[in-house]
Chain A
Amino acid sequence: MTEQKIRVLLAKPGLDGHDRGIKVIAAAFRDAGMEVIYTGLRQTPDMIVNAAIQEDVDAVGVSILSGAHMTLFPAILDMMKEKGADDIILFGGGIIPDDDKEKLEKLGVAKVFTPGAPTEEAIEFIRKAVKAKNEKDKLV
């Protein structure tokens, strides 16, 4: 009789401080029954991945509105690989042009949400992705 909850880490990498979107997502995920760890602003890729490992989260979500997404997403992915944590789902949102979105999803970002996406869409995505991941690594 396991009592598993979806655990998600939400963070703002880079220097921009616009946290409206990520706070709305945090509240929506909580209200959808998830355990949300919000680590706040100006997180380096190192901080994000260390926190994700310690908190043993299923997914990491980041929000970037400054235009630095092509630097920050790959840096987080690299750090995940380096620390053997690339099974954790990485998703994100922000002001991200379509062709960058495609590139990022090819690089290994599970999903990039663009402005206006309803929170329900993100919730559904996480539920499905986590379910798939758990089936893949039945553990112990």
Chain B
Amino acid sequence: MFSKKFLDKLKEDKATWSKKAEKFKDKKSMPRFFTVSSVDIDDLYTPDSIKGADADDHFEKNINFPGEFPYTRGVHHTMYRSRLWTMRQFAGMGTPRQTNKRFHYILKQGGTGLSTAFDLPTLMGYDSDHSRSLGEVGKCGVAVDTLADMEIIFDGIELDKVSTSMTINSPASILLAMYLAVAEKQGIPFKKVRGTLQNDILKEYIAQKEFIYPPRPSIRLITDMMDYCTKHVPQWNTISISGYHIREAGATAVQELAFTLADGFQYIESAIEDGQDVDDFAPRLSYFFNAHSDFFEEICKYRAARRIVAKRMRYKYKAKDPKSWLCRFHTQTAGCSLTAQQPENNIIRVALQAMSGVLGGTQSLHTNSMDETLALPSEKAVTIALRTQQIIAYETGVTNTPDPLAGSYYIEALTDQMEAEAEKYFEEIESRGGVLQCIEEGFFQQEIARAAYRHQLELEKKDRIIVGVNDFVMENEEIDIPVLKIDPETEKEQVAFVKKIKAERDNGAVQETLAKLREVSKNDGNTFEALYECSKAYASVGEMCDVLREEWGEYVETAAAMKPC
């Protein structure tokens, strides 16, 4: 990219510059120059900051054109000039009826993508009438107990006309089974059903902790479902390999990058071991990253992710279909960066984070609402969040050309550095016996806890400033934005509904399908098919999960994994 001669001369000039800059060294506008992940940043970036930049094929090998291997500059040739990212706002709360209303509203506004949030009992595989669900029903999302709820959520929505994303992990197969059962009732062939499941159980053990079963049977659930989808539901994205929650738990950008991709490679290896062809399933894998506050570090993270995935898929897993090489990803702004103090400032944080996601080439984006540290988002806050994306898309001009920051010495150097740091983590994970072993030993969890605690100490020492929290504080601040409350009647209503369904359905059929599920879970056979039959008989999420709990046991974190740091 740069001639050797030029770089040699540059080194001399840079030394001269450094001497001149020396006299300003004691004057510092900030206590420390480091990223939000505590990576120290050099005084200045120049062409020689990019390693190997004197090689003739450096551009082709490392940067190249958008839509060309290794896809550093984006997965499409024209990026947002052809098609903007999908503005996919995650929603769902209360009863199925309320969510159905919301979905109809979204579709009426011209939306084609639905994104479903489920409540904690559903995510943890408990029915609304379970004692552990008390106080949690319909709070963080919609409650789903049986197929009857799914029928209500998608009442009047033709499933071949929308793409639906479902944020669920341990019971993901069950929710997909129910969704397909609704499609069948609507007479829609599975070939036409489109959508995405989060279904990333590994990051649950690492970060979000919404797990039910131990890792090995959990992975079987996933590979069984991947196999079923390859054969019957070809347009379904089976896993969204998620770094978002890893980052929210306190990880650095490099940890988010490395641990997420390591998880992804683990799924790929499991499916290959299961006898599946990499090019059969890999094109439907996608990723999900966080957009945190360090603008450039985030952009470099996305660029590094694309390059790492492309190289691994092509060279290590021998994928031949270029679609298998792509790291397509969804991005969400960082909930953990938002402050309860002066909450309106969060609008600006979200805007800048969203901008980094767009400059990093995301395929879809969720922007957080300013009030999330106070409660579930109000309608007004959700609207502002969506408008933020529209302003970026239509007013700022950042969509005019793909990867506009390519070639910036800083961006390229930091992208390379993050790739190298991630590779170091891959080696360490491998030397510790792989992802599952690292989860059990608490390696990821402790790395993340350490980073989270360091971040907190940096804040308390004021090495790092968060506006409104540890500086620029407003005394006696009165918060005057509307805060949403969930009606306590929601829980009662949902509990009554699940009880009614359980009384009215054909309980003989339920017992029969559950017995079949038990049989399959103990032996070979596809668990997804069994779950599909249970769902059609109106067996509940809790009942299906209980069968698998009894057969597979429940996962309890090891003491090492729980250790604060």
A residues contacting B by CB (< 8 A) are 14-20, 23-24, 26-28, 30, 36, 38, 40-42, 44, 66-68, 70-72, 75, 95, 97-98, 114-116, 118-120
Contacts and interface: CB of A to CB of B under 8 A. Distances in A.
Nearest to B469: A116
B135 A70 contact: yes
Interface of B: 120-121, 123-124, 126, 132-136, 139-140, 204, 208-211, 248-250, 336, 339-341, 372-376, 449, 452-453, 456, 459-460, 466, 469-470, 479, 483, 485-486, 557, 562, 564-565
A17 B210 contact: yes
Contact of B565 (A23, A42, A98, A118): A23
B452 A23 contact: yes
A118 B459 contact: yes
A41 B562 CA distance: 9
A75 B373 CA distance: 24
B563 to A, nearest CB: 8
Nearest to B138: A67
A67 B470 contact: no
A66 B250 contact: no
A14 B140 CA distance: 13
A120 B457 CA distance: 10
A67 B140 contact: yes
A115 B479 contact: no
Q: Tell me the interface secondary structure of chain A in the complex.
A: loop
A24 B373 contact: no
Given A68-B135, A116-B469, A118-B459, A98 B479 contact: yes
B132 A44 contact: yes
A15 B336 CA distance: 19
B136 A66 contact: yes
Given A115-B340, A115-B373, 20 more contacts: A14-B136, A15-B133, A15-B136, A15-B210, A16-B140, A17-B204, A17-B208, A20-B452, A23-B564, A24-B250, A24-B449, A24-B453, A41-B209, A66-B140, A71-B136, A95-B372, A97-B375, A116-B339, A116-B341, A118-B460
| Chain A CB within 10 A, most for which of B204, B336, B456, B564 | B564
A20 B459 contact: no
A71 B134 contact: yes
A108 B120 CA distance: 27
17 contacts: A14-B135, A15-B120, A15-B121, A15-B126, A23-B452, A24-B452, A24-B564, A27-B453, A41-B557, A67-B140, A67-B375, A67-B376, A98-B479, A115-B340, A118-B459, A119-B460, A120-B460
Contacts of B340: 114-116
Given A66-B136, A116-B469, A38 B562 contact: yes
